[in-house]
Amino acid sequence: VQLQASGGGLVQAGGSLRLSCAASGRTFSNYAAGWFRQAPGKEREFVGAINRIAYSTDYADSVKGRFTISRDNAKNTVYLQMNSLKPEDTAVYYCAAHPSGAWTLLVGVDDYDYWGQGTQVTVSS
């Protein structure tokens, strides 16, 4: 499966952005999906995950209550709605996918085989 992330940009603290990740090449509903981010000089870290059938989600503690992951399997797309953004949310955001069981949530970088190219999110103070 090929993944194309979009929707990043520059936003002031307290603002919102919605990232999208469009999948192609395979039946996307067979894949668990997630979002990760990587700030300069830091390791890539987990942000949110969603299972194949979109009934379950998981989030990093740092984004709980502010970010929402969702997916539309009919559109082969996974989303990350980011509200109340903070300067520490500044990073390159990556979407990821991996074939899995219907209820599986994957939260580790090494859990995923397929990655998008990343989209830059910059939050100014």
Average pLDDT, the chain: 96
Q: Provide the pLDDT for residue 55.
A: 83
Could you read off the pLDDT of 99-108 as tens digits, one per residue?
Answer: 999 899 999 9
Q: Provide the pLDDT for residue 9.
A: 97
Give pLDDT < 70 ranges for the chain. Answer: none
Q: Provide the pLDDT for residue 27.
A: 86
Report the SS3 class of residue 107: coil
Contact 123, 16 (CB under 8 A): no
- Distances in Å between the Cα of 89 and the Cα atoms of 23, 46, 69, 84, 86 are 24, 12, 15, 10, 5
| Neighbour order of strands in the sheet with 17-24 | 2-6, 17-24, 77-82, 67-72
For residues 105 and 123, give the distance between their C-alpha atoms in angstroms, rounded to a whole number: 28
Contact 32, 100 (CB under 8 A): yes
